[in-house]
Homo-oligomer: A and B are copies of this chain.
Amino acid sequence: MARNTRRTQRGETSLSRDRIIEASIELLDAGGEDGLTFRALSERLGTGAGAIYWHIANKSDLLTAACDAIVAPTMRSATEGASPRDAIRAIGLGMFDAMDEHPWVGSALTQAAAQLPMVRILEAIGRQVVALGVPDAMRWHAGSALLHYILGVAGQNAANRRIARERQLVRADFLDAVAAQWAALDGDEFAFTRSIAPQLREHDDRLDFAAGIDLILDGVQSALARP
């Protein structure tokens, strides 16, 4: 960690794991997951591709580290809340907003299963589940349901953003395209989907996300109340 402090003091010219991660995030923000390549990264850092491998193990390691650089501060600032319930909502919405700013975090999170970024989210949620008074035997179920729900929305939003980017569509046009696609489905086989297609355009992803968390928390609380 303190390996190259002497050089760092001299300026920004030296390579370091932190500088690599920082540049990676810039590339990911600018060009999505495809934007991060060792060639683009080494060009931006003014170095050779091989140099990067001195500081990181491989691309998967790099993506996880970039993801953690977003998730860690998000979890640190989202643990406040008037009640455990509010705190859990804040954790979820904190992740939602972070992924809104960095859409690649959703898929990075999925790829880095059981790694540090995911554990941070689990930890933040779990503490509030305990504070909520959930008994030992139910903590795992409650925590993992919330975590999986958050990861599900994460993955889905990330995929939607990637598709919209590839087709060079803004959000509204993307939703219009999906709604049109759904409306064209077979009326008998896809009756439900067709019936909710109009809601696609009006809906607010962030509110929907919060509503899902509330549903799970309601389920937890009704289980707590059961004799």
- Cα separation A60 to B193 with both chains bound (whole Å): 23
Report which residue of A107, A114, A193, A195 has the largest number of chain B beta carbons within 10 angstroms of its beta carbon.
A114
Beta-carbon contact of B215 and A123 below 8 Å? no
CB distance from A172 to the nearest CB of B (A): 15
Interface size of A in residues (CB-CB distance below 8 Å): 59
Closest partner residue, chain B, to A106 (CB atom): B110
Beta-carbon contact of B156 and A151 below 8 Å? yes
Report which residue of A159, A182, A215, A222 has the largest number of chain B beta carbons within 10 angstroms of its beta carbon.
A215
Beta-carbon contact of A196 and B140 below 8 Å? yes
Number of this chain's copies in the complex: 2
Could you mark each residue 71-101 of chain A with 1 if its beta carbon is under 8 Å from any beta carbon of chain B, else 0? 0000000000000000000000000000000
Which residues in chain A, 37-63, are within 8 Å of chain B measured between CB atoms? none
Beta-carbon contact of B222 and A140 below 8 Å? no
A153 at the B interface (CB under 8 A): yes
Beta-carbon contact of A189 and B123 below 8 Å? yes
Q: Return chain B residues, CB-CB under 8 Å to A199.
A: 140
Q: Return chain B residues, CB-CB under 8 Å to A102.
A: none
A141's partner among B145, B153, B215 (CB-CB below 8 A) is B215
A212's partner among B148, B181, B211 (CB-CB below 8 A) is B148
A30 at the B interface (CB under 8 A): no
A220 at the B interface (CB under 8 A): yes
23 pairs from A and B in contact (CB 8 Å cutoff): A122-B192, A122-B193, A123-B191, A126-B196, A130-B192, A141-B208, A141-B212, A143-B196, A145-B212, A145-B215, A148-B149, A148-B153, A148-B156, A151-B156, A215-B219, A215-B220, A215-B223, A218-B218, A218-B222, A219-B219, A219-B220, A219-B222, A222-B222
Binding site for B on A (CB under 8 A): 107, 110-114, 119, 122-123, 126-127, 129-130, 139-145, 147-156, 159-160, 163, 178, 181-182, 185, 189-193, 195-196, 199, 203, 208, 211-212, 214-223
